[in-house]
């Protein structure tokens, strides 16, 4: 392991919710909950003000509404979050060529490889400057962890939240990890945590004391071995820049269209197993399962499901593929079937043990935009989703605060304005139309140059 804390982990604070607060002045400092608002919707994220009520990611929306009835409930705007993510990733690429994004709002950066930092002092300065740049370019806050390994850098950013920076001095890692709950370590989710607790292991120190053989016995070879190393604060995983392979997939074309639904199901299972063999062969795991179906008339459909964490478990991938198939009409016959996995990682971040044990955490991890509940929303809610931008011919730019009973309520405000006023219209008011989001930060001369540098960096290969 390196001797300086030059691995940086960035994680934006309550990302989707903070973006919404930045774009809607009336919601700053308020409880904001973003997620699927249909009957089966789940919370994507909650602002820190809403977390006080116990609301958190992946919670059923109905439960969130009981806990925080007065919060603002908004439908996610993925395109906006993606564009802001690109700005942030662009700033990270200014620091080093070795940037490893983990999700839209989270990435590792190897500062040493970029020549940006080489010791504690330079690392701390780089982290502080990054946070200031992110705020200037996007108007948002992110938390930074700095350490000599990925695992510790990620733990540090968690401790820094919200809106902070924590640096773990090399040499202090084991003392710091020891008393923490086992759940702090990557790969230990609720199920593994329970399993260890039943064996009397609660803290990282107890994990280290249990010894490698015992952990292998409890958790299996790969997981036990990896966890023992983590418990000793040993983590040599390098920061890996853009991955070559974007997805692993297999498909088969059939000479004669398959009509039998049972046979279609069996083929999908077979393809899922083949896909897992490829995935494992490449030492990868992935987070998004994709099913491809070409029907007798050459119409081709793809359906995907995103799990909470990367997996290479055949049971999990088979199950996901089967679930996806349920939503596809195959009457008339099928010419081609394919199963793929994307969102690749070279290690398992989430709770593999739980996924293998059949705990349906994956169902909670579905992106709200893909939730079937969305489909059941009324036409009004689809046209005027809560939180989305609109423009009124007379009153200008605003956002949908709510809709129903033939009416839509709009709050007229913009990222740079004072909190605005609310007005209600008929849903078919010809003066009202959906609008694109406005930039969160006004483009002053200096700021715009900076923002463009970020954009250009992320547009690279
Ligand atoms: N997300 C989601 N569903 C989940 C978890 C997260 O849709 N089950 C989305 C919404 C989050 C974003 O991903 O805003 C980033 O996830 P994080 O886990 O980093 O959570 P936040 O950034 O919201 O909060 P924190 O400040 O704890 O990082
Ligand atoms: Mg975050």
Q: Is residue 62 included in any domain, yes or no?
A: no
Query: Does position 111 have pLDDT exceeding 70, yes or no?
Result: yes
- Tell whether 253 and 340 lie within a shared domain: yes
Q: Can you tell me the mean pLDDT for 2-7?
A: 96
Q: Of 340, 373, 406, which marks where a domain is finished?
A: 373
Residues 6+ apart with CB under 8 A from 209: none
Q: Is residue 355 included in any domain, yes or no?
A: yes
- Tell whether 296 and 357 lie within a shared domain: yes
Q: Is residue 15 included in any domain, yes or no?
A: no
Please give the number of the atom of ligand 1 that sits closest to the Cα of 365: 8
Q: How many CA atoms lie within 13 A of 312 on its CB side?
A: 21
Model confidence pLDDT, tens digit, residues 184-237: 998 788 888 999 999 999 999 999 999 999 999 998 888 888 899 999 999 998
Measured CA to CA, the distance from residue 280 to residue 289 in angstroms comes to 15
- Tell whether 188 and 276 lie within a shared domain: no
Query: Does position 168 have pLDDT exceeding 90, yes or no?
Result: yes
User: Ligand 1 pocket: which of 15, 49, 84, 287 to mutate (most atoms <8 Å of CB)?
Assistant: 15
The percentage of residues in the chain with a pLDDT greater than 70, rounded to a whole number, is 87
Query: Does position 369 have pLDDT exceeding 70, yes or no?
Result: no
Model confidence at 364, in pLDDT bands (50, 70, 90)?
A: very low
Q: Do 233 and 168 contact (CB within 8 A), yes or no?
A: no
- Tell whether 316 and 364 lie within a shared domain: yes
Measured CA to CA, the distance from residue 409 to residue 390 in angstroms comes to 11
Catalytic residue ranges: 106
For ligand 2, a single-atom ion, which residues have Cβ within 5 Å?
Answer: 11-12, 15, 105
Distances in Å between the Cα of 97 and the Cα atoms of 116, 266, 282 are 11, 44, 23
Q: How many CA atoms lie within 13 A of 275 on its CB side?
A: 36
Model confidence pLDDT, tens digit, residues 13-40: 999 999 999 999 999 999 999 998 887 7
In angstroms, what is the span from residue 340 Cα to ligand 1's centroid?
25
For residue 276, the enclosing domain spans 247-373
Q: What is the pLDDT of residue 378?
A: 56
Q: Of 207, 231, 255, which marks where a domain is finished?
A: 231
Query: Does position 455 have pLDDT exceeding 90, yes or no?
Result: no
- Tell whether 262 and 216 lie within a shared domain: no
Q: Of 332, 352, 373, which marks where a domain is finished?
A: 373
Q: Do 239 and 280 contact (CB within 8 A), yes or no?
A: no
The total of structural domains in the chain comes to 2
Measured CA to CA, the distance from residue 162 to residue 101 in angstroms comes to 20
- Tell whether 253 and 319 lie within a shared domain: yes
pTM attached to this predicted model: 0.73
Q: Please tell me what DSSP assigns to residue 298.
A: S
Model confidence at 368, in pLDDT bands (50, 70, 90)?
A: very low
- Tell whether 265 and 364 lie within a shared domain: yes
């Amino acid at each position: 392991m390196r001797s300086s804390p030059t691995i940086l982990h960035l994680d934006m604070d309550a990302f989707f919710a903070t973006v919404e607060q930045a774009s809607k002045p009336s919601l700053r400092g308020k409880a904001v909950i973003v997620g699927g608002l249909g009957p089966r919707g789940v919370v994507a994220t909650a602002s820190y003000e809403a977390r006080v009520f116990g609301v958190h990611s992946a919670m059923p929306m109905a439960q969130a509404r009981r806990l925080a009835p007065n919060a603002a409930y908004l439908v996610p705007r993925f395109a906006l979050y993606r564009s802001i993510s690109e700005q942030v990733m662009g700033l990270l690429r200014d620091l080093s060529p070795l940037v490893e994004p983990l999700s839209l709002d989270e990435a590792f950066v190897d500062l040493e490889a970029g020549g940006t930092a080489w010791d504690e002092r330079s690392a701390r300065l780089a982290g502080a400057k990054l946070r200031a740049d992110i705020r200037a370019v996007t108007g948002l806050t992110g938390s930074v962890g700095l350490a000599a390994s990925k695992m510790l850098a990620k733990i540090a950013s968690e401790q820094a939240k919200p809106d902070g920076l924590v640096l773990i001095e090399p040499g202090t890692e084991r003392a710091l990890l020891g008393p923490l709950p086992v759940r702090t370590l990557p790969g230990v989710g609720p199920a593994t945590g329970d399993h260890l607790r039943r064996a009397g292991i609660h803290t990282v120190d107890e994990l280290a004391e249990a010894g490698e053989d015992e952990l292998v016995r409890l958790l299996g070879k790969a997981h036990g071995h990896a966890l023992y190393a983590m418990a000793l604060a040993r983590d040599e995983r390098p920061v890996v820049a853009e991955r070559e392979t974007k997805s692993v997939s297999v498909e088969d074309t059939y000479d004669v269209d398959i009509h039998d639904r049972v046979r279609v199901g069996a083929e999908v299972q077979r393809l899922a197993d083949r896909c897992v063999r490829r995935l494992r062969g490449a030492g990868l795991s992935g987070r998004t399962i994709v099913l491809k179906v070409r029907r007798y008339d050459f119409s081709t459909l793809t359906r995907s499901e995103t799990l909470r964490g990367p997996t290479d478990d055949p049971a999990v991938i088979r199950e996901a593929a089967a679930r996806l198939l349920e939503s596809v009409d195959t009457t008339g016959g099928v010419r081609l079937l394919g199963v793929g996995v994307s969102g690749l990682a070279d290690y398992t971040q989430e709770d593999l043990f739980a996924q293998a044990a059949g705990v349906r955490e994956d169902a909670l991890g579905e992106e709200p935009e893909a939730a079937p509940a969305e489909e059941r929303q009324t036409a009004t809610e689809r046209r005027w989703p809560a939180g989305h931008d609109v423009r009124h011919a007379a009153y200008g730019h605003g956002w949908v605060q709510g809709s129903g009973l033939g009416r839509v309520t709009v709050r007229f405000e913009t990222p740079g304005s004072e909190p605005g006023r609310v007005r209600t219209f008929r849903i078919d008011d010809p003066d009202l139309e959906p609008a694109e989001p406005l930039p969160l930060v006004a483009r002053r001369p200096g700021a715009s140059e900076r923002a463009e540098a970020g954009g250009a960096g992320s547009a690279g290969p």
